[in-house]
Amino acid sequence: MAHLLLRRALPLIAVLAAAAFTGCRGADANDAGPGPDAPRTLPTSVPQRPPTPTPLPPATDPVAAVEAFVAAEADRDAVAAWSLLSAEDRVRYPTPAMWQTEHRQLPQLRSVAVSGAPSPTVAAAADPPGALDLAAEVTFDPGLDLTKGMVPARAQATWRVVPEEGGWRIAYRDSRFDAVTASEHTLAEDAAAWADARRRCRTEDAFGRRLEVGGGVVGVAGLAERLCGAGRTVPAGTPARIEAAEAAAVVAAFGPGALEWARVIALEGAVPQRVVLGPLGERWIAIGVLAA
């Protein structure tokens, strides 16, 4: 979930200025100006790198580090969140502004509930001495779109915390988040709601909630269009995972993770087809259509 940011060294920039003048001032050698071999003084400018910010003090214990980090993220307090990153993470994100920029790719944390005591990490050469893992459930601002893919409402997190400067910080790059998707018990109901809205030539329900991904379903989208004004089409059969052999459009739009979280259910009736659904928070919305 983190991205390595590369910094490029700024070159030394030399600003050269020279002016040549010609005129008729007589034959006095003293008025001829410096000769072509005379030394020149060339002004130079060296770009100054802004000073590295000093992070705030670390948390007093591993649980406090996780809770303070999530609280800072939820409040969009980039300085506090950045200060709680490990020294290694702060090499990748040298300033709070760079960490804040990274949130364009990261899910937005809302809350955390620690579910156990810290435990020693599985031994790895890269782990700093004293590193611990801490299990917790986190919540995110859920999302499902063609830009970021699927962001779950909840996830089981394993936070990596490391001792630094007499306290504890978050090794974000080494932390893990496993999505907890919506219950599959509502899949057929949500598929039926989408098909019914499409029959009415809409993509939202009566409450204005969207029933399919923004930008429109991928795959055989023409089948979805044919539902507009058609007779009733209802779910039939049991929802299943999408097969890799027919998932090219879905994977291209939402990434390979869709093979794990997307579900397919057949629709029978006036316009037979199979609708692909993805979780948006605690419900499912249409993201693609396959031929029946």
Query: Residue 106: its pLDDT value, please?
Result: 85
Strands of 165-251, DSSP E: 167-170, 176-180, 218-219, 233-241
Residue 197: the pLDDT is 97
Look up the pTM and report it: 0.72
d(CA 232, CA 185): 22
Q: What is the pLDDT of residue 4?
A: 30
Q: Which domains does the chain have, with CATH numbers?
A: 62-180 (3.10.450), 184-290 (no CATH)
Measured CA to CA, the distance from residue 79 to residue 96 in angstroms comes to 5
* 3-class secondary-structure state, position 227: coil
Q: Is 263 helix (H, G, I), strand (E, B) or coil?
A: strand
Whole-number pLDDT of residue 40: 52
Which residues of the chain fall below pLDDT 50? Answer: 1-34, 42
Q: What pLDDT, on a 0 to 100 scale, did the predictor assign at position 35?
A: 52
| Distance in angstroms (rounded) separating the CA atoms of residues 81 and 157 | 17
- Please give the DSSP secondary-structure letter assigned to residue 289: E
SS3 of 40, please? coil
Identify the pLDDT of residue 186. 95
